[in-house]
Homo-oligomer: A and B are copies of this chain.
Protein backbone atom coordinates (compact mmCIF):
# COMPACT_ATOMS: atom_id res chain seq x y z
CA UNK A 1 0.00 0.00 0.00
CA UNK A 2 1.12 3.54 -0.74
CA UNK A 3 1.23 6.01 2.17
CA UNK A 4 -2.09 7.35 0.93
CA UNK A 5 -4.25 5.40 -1.48
CA UNK A 6 -7.24 6.87 -3.25
CA UNK A 7 -9.86 4.45 -4.57
CA UNK A 8 -12.13 5.75 -7.32
CA UNK A 9 -15.71 4.50 -7.04
CA UNK A 10 -17.39 6.89 -9.46
CA UNK A 11 -16.51 9.95 -11.52
CA UNK A 12 -19.69 11.97 -11.98
CA UNK A 13 -19.63 15.46 -13.53
CA UNK A 14 -20.46 17.85 -10.70
CA UNK A 15 -21.97 21.27 -11.29
CA UNK A 16 -20.35 24.11 -9.33
CA UNK A 17 -19.45 21.66 -6.57
CA UNK A 18 -18.88 22.81 -3.00
CA UNK A 19 -16.68 20.79 -0.64
CA UNK A 20 -18.17 20.14 2.80
CA UNK A 21 -15.95 18.45 5.39
CA UNK A 22 -17.29 16.82 8.56
CA UNK A 23 -14.71 14.57 10.23
CA UNK A 24 -14.80 13.59 13.94
CA UNK A 25 -14.12 16.48 16.32
CA UNK A 26 -15.52 18.57 19.21
CA UNK A 27 -19.11 17.47 19.94
CA UNK A 28 -19.06 15.53 16.66
CA UNK A 29 -20.75 18.63 15.28
CA UNK A 30 -19.18 18.47 11.82
CA UNK A 31 -19.67 14.73 11.45
CA UNK A 32 -23.32 14.87 12.59
CA UNK A 33 -23.98 17.70 10.14
CA UNK A 34 -22.59 15.96 7.05
CA UNK A 35 -24.10 12.61 8.05
CA UNK A 36 -27.46 14.35 8.18
CA UNK A 37 -26.97 15.64 4.65
CA UNK A 38 -26.07 12.13 3.47
CA UNK A 39 -29.24 10.76 5.08
CA UNK A 40 -31.55 13.43 3.70
CA UNK A 41 -30.21 13.74 0.15
CA UNK A 42 -29.51 11.15 -2.53
CA UNK A 43 -25.77 10.61 -2.61
CA UNK A 44 -23.16 8.54 -4.40
CA UNK A 45 -19.83 7.47 -2.92
CA UNK A 46 -17.08 8.67 -5.27
CA UNK A 47 -13.74 8.21 -3.48
CA UNK A 48 -12.33 6.22 -0.56
CA UNK A 49 -9.04 7.36 0.95
CA UNK A 50 -6.86 4.86 2.84
CA UNK A 51 -3.70 5.95 4.64
CA UNK A 52 -0.99 4.50 6.83
CA UNK A 53 -1.44 7.60 8.97
CA UNK A 54 -4.87 6.36 10.04
CA UNK A 55 -5.03 4.01 13.04
CA UNK A 56 -4.12 0.39 12.11
CA UNK A 57 -7.68 -0.70 12.63
CA UNK A 58 -10.77 -2.17 11.05
CA UNK A 59 -14.28 -1.36 12.21
CA UNK A 60 -16.99 -4.01 11.94
CA UNK A 61 -20.20 -3.60 10.02
CA UNK A 62 -22.34 -6.74 10.54
CA UNK A 63 -19.12 -8.60 11.39
CA UNK A 64 -17.56 -7.58 8.08
CA UNK A 65 -14.31 -5.68 8.47
CA UNK A 66 -13.87 -2.23 6.98
CA UNK A 67 -10.42 -0.70 6.86
CA UNK A 68 -10.00 2.78 8.39
CA UNK A 69 -10.71 5.31 5.62
CA UNK A 70 -12.14 8.69 4.70
CA UNK A 71 -14.99 8.91 2.19
CA UNK A 72 -16.13 11.40 -0.44
CA UNK A 73 -19.78 11.41 -1.48
CA UNK A 74 -21.37 13.42 -4.29
CA UNK A 75 -24.73 14.97 -3.43
CA UNK A 76 -27.20 16.69 -5.72
CA UNK A 77 -28.55 19.42 -3.43
CA UNK A 78 -29.99 21.83 -5.98
CA UNK A 79 -28.14 24.89 -7.27
CA UNK A 80 -24.73 23.50 -6.23
CA UNK A 81 -23.63 19.90 -6.12
CA UNK A 82 -22.02 19.00 -2.82
CA UNK A 83 -18.83 16.98 -2.42
CA UNK A 84 -19.03 15.67 1.13
CA UNK A 85 -15.96 14.45 3.01
CA UNK A 86 -16.47 12.32 6.12
CA UNK A 87 -15.03 9.31 7.94
CA UNK A 88 -14.32 7.86 11.37
CA UNK A 89 -10.72 8.94 11.82
CA UNK A 90 -8.32 11.85 11.87
CA UNK A 91 -4.62 11.35 11.09
CA UNK A 92 -2.45 10.34 14.02
CA UNK A 93 0.55 12.63 13.44
CA UNK A 94 1.37 16.17 12.37
CA UNK A 95 2.72 15.12 8.99
CA UNK A 96 -0.29 12.85 8.53
CA UNK A 97 -2.65 15.79 8.88
CA UNK A 98 -0.76 17.73 6.23
CA UNK A 99 -0.47 14.83 3.80
CA UNK A 100 -4.10 13.75 4.12
CA UNK A 101 -5.46 17.27 3.77
CA UNK A 102 -3.34 17.68 0.66
CA UNK A 103 -4.82 14.46 -0.75
CA UNK A 104 -8.32 15.66 0.12
CA UNK A 105 -7.73 18.95 -1.68
CA UNK A 106 -6.34 17.10 -4.73
CA UNK A 107 -9.61 15.17 -4.95
CA UNK A 108 -11.69 18.30 -4.47
CA UNK A 109 -9.80 20.00 -7.30
CA UNK A 110 -10.29 16.99 -9.58
CA UNK A 111 -14.03 17.57 -9.19
CA UNK A 112 -13.67 21.29 -9.94
CA UNK A 113 -14.24 22.52 -6.39
CA UNK A 114 -13.39 26.21 -5.86
CA UNK A 115 -15.24 26.74 -2.59
CA UNK A 116 -15.24 24.69 0.59
CA UNK A 117 -16.64 24.56 4.11
CA UNK A 118 -15.02 22.82 7.06
CA UNK A 119 -17.72 22.10 9.64
CA UNK A 120 -16.95 21.59 13.31
CA UNK A 121 -17.64 22.55 16.90
CA UNK A 122 -16.04 25.08 19.20
CA UNK A 123 -16.04 24.12 22.89
CA UNK A 124 -17.59 26.54 25.40
CA UNK A 125 -17.13 24.41 28.53
CA UNK A 126 -20.78 24.73 29.52
CA UNK A 127 -24.21 23.84 28.13
CA UNK A 128 -25.37 26.41 25.55
CA UNK A 129 -29.08 27.06 25.03
CA UNK A 130 -28.81 28.80 21.70
CA UNK A 131 -25.47 27.92 20.13
CA UNK A 132 -23.99 30.49 17.76
CA UNK A 133 -22.03 29.53 14.67
CA UNK A 134 -18.56 31.09 14.59
CA UNK A 135 -16.64 31.61 11.39
CA UNK A 136 -13.10 31.80 10.03
CA UNK A 137 -12.17 32.32 6.38
CA UNK A 138 -9.34 32.26 3.87
CA UNK A 139 -10.57 35.44 2.23
CA UNK A 140 -11.69 38.53 4.17
CA UNK A 141 -14.18 39.29 1.38
CA UNK A 142 -16.28 36.29 2.46
CA UNK A 143 -16.99 37.65 5.93
CA UNK A 144 -19.93 39.84 4.96
CA UNK A 145 -21.66 37.13 2.91
CA UNK A 146 -21.37 34.70 5.83
CA UNK A 147 -22.47 37.27 8.43
CA UNK A 148 -25.63 37.79 6.35
CA UNK A 149 -26.30 34.06 6.76
CA UNK A 150 -25.99 34.29 10.53
CA UNK A 151 -22.31 33.43 11.10
CA UNK A 152 -20.63 35.35 13.91
CA UNK A 153 -17.08 36.60 13.52
CA UNK A 154 -15.51 37.34 16.89
CA UNK A 155 -12.13 38.97 17.31
CA UNK A 156 -9.43 36.44 18.18
CA UNK A 157 -11.82 33.46 18.48
CA UNK A 158 -11.15 30.60 18.71
CA UNK A 159 -8.11 31.80 20.61
CA UNK A 160 -5.89 28.83 19.81
CA UNK A 161 -6.59 28.95 16.08
CA UNK A 162 -8.00 25.86 14.36
CA UNK A 163 -6.18 22.52 14.39
CA UNK A 164 -6.44 19.30 12.40
CA UNK A 165 -7.97 18.78 8.97
CA UNK A 166 -10.44 21.66 9.36
CA UNK A 167 -7.62 24.08 10.06
CA UNK A 168 -5.46 22.78 7.23
CA UNK A 169 -8.32 22.88 4.71
CA UNK A 170 -8.18 26.64 5.25
CA UNK A 171 -4.39 26.90 5.48
CA UNK A 172 -3.52 24.64 2.55
CA UNK A 173 -6.67 25.53 0.60
CA UNK A 174 -5.75 29.20 0.67
CA UNK A 175 -2.32 28.40 -0.75
CA UNK A 176 -4.07 26.71 -3.71
CA UNK A 177 -6.32 29.70 -4.30
CA UNK A 178 -9.48 28.04 -2.99
CA UNK A 179 -12.03 29.94 -0.94
CA UNK A 180 -12.60 27.96 2.26
CA UNK A 181 -14.57 28.86 5.38
CA UNK A 182 -14.65 27.07 8.71
CA UNK A 183 -18.05 27.11 10.44
CA UNK A 184 -17.95 26.12 14.09
CA UNK A 185 -21.07 25.51 16.16
CA UNK A 186 -20.79 26.35 19.83
CA UNK A 187 -21.06 23.22 21.94
CA UNK A 188 -20.25 22.22 25.52
CA UNK A 189 -17.44 19.94 24.41
CA UNK A 190 -18.64 17.14 26.69
CA UNK A 191 -21.45 15.61 24.63
CA UNK A 192 -22.38 14.71 21.08
CA UNK A 193 -24.39 17.74 20.01
CA UNK A 194 -27.11 17.39 17.29
CA UNK A 195 -28.55 20.81 18.17
CA UNK A 196 -25.25 22.53 17.36
CA UNK A 197 -25.01 20.49 14.14
CA UNK A 198 -28.47 21.73 13.15
CA UNK A 199 -27.39 25.32 13.77
CA UNK A 200 -24.43 24.86 11.45
CA UNK A 201 -26.63 23.29 8.77
CA UNK A 202 -29.17 26.11 8.98
CA UNK A 203 -26.37 28.50 8.14
CA UNK A 204 -25.22 26.23 5.32
CA UNK A 205 -28.72 26.18 3.79
CA UNK A 206 -28.57 29.91 3.46
CA UNK A 207 -24.98 30.12 2.32
CA UNK A 208 -25.11 27.43 -0.36
CA UNK A 209 -28.79 27.50 -1.19
CA UNK A 210 -30.34 24.11 -0.44
CA UNK A 211 -33.23 22.98 1.73
CA UNK A 212 -33.16 20.08 4.11
CA UNK A 213 -35.57 18.74 6.77
CA UNK A 214 -34.38 18.63 10.38
CA UNK A 215 -36.82 16.19 11.99
CA UNK A 216 -34.31 13.43 12.67
CA UNK A 217 -31.70 15.85 14.05
CA UNK A 218 -34.36 17.49 16.23
CA UNK A 219 -35.33 14.06 17.56
CA UNK A 220 -31.71 13.30 18.39
CA UNK A 221 -31.38 16.71 20.04
CA UNK A 222 -34.48 15.92 22.16
CA UNK A 223 -32.95 12.58 23.15
CA UNK A 224 -29.72 14.32 24.16
CA UNK A 225 -31.70 16.83 26.23
CA UNK A 226 -33.34 13.95 28.09
CA UNK A 227 -29.91 12.39 28.69
CA UNK A 228 -28.62 15.72 29.96
CA UNK A 229 -31.71 16.08 32.17
CA UNK A 230 -31.15 12.66 33.71
CA UNK A 231 -27.48 13.39 34.35
CA UNK A 232 -28.38 16.66 36.06
CA UNK A 233 -31.06 14.88 38.14
CA UNK A 234 -28.53 12.25 39.21
CA UNK A 235 -26.03 14.92 40.16
CA UNK A 236 -28.67 16.75 42.19
CA UNK A 237 -29.67 13.52 43.95
CA UNK A 238 -26.06 12.74 44.74
CA UNK A 239 -25.60 16.20 46.15
CA UNK A 240 -28.85 15.79 48.13
CA UNK A 241 -27.61 12.42 49.36
CA UNK A 242 -24.34 13.97 50.35
CA UNK A 243 -26.15 16.66 52.27
CA UNK A 244 -28.42 14.19 54.11
CA UNK A 245 -25.38 12.09 54.93
CA UNK A 246 -23.72 15.15 56.30
CA UNK A 247 -26.86 16.11 58.19
CA UNK A 248 -27.16 12.66 59.72
CA UNK A 249 -23.57 12.76 60.79
CA UNK A 250 -24.12 16.24 62.10
CA UNK A 251 -27.27 15.30 63.94
CA UNK A 252 -25.79 12.01 65.12
The residues of A with any CB-CB pair to B shorter than 8 Å are: 1, 3, 50, 52-60, 62-68, 91-95, 97-99, 101-102, 135-140, 143, 153-158, 160-165, 167-168, 170-172, 174-175, 180, 182
Contact = CB atoms under 8 A, between A and B. Distances in A.
B60 A98 contact: no
Contact of A68 (B3, B155, B171): B171
A135 B66 CA distance: 14
B171 A94 contact: no
Given A56-B94, A63-B153, A92-B94, 7 more contacts: A1-B102, A50-B175, A53-B95, A55-B94, A57-B167, A67-B168, A67-B175
B98 A1 contact: yes
Contacts of A3: 95
Which secondary structure dominates where chain A touches chain B? mixed
B136 A64 contact: yes
Nearest to A55: B94
A93 B91 CA distance: 13
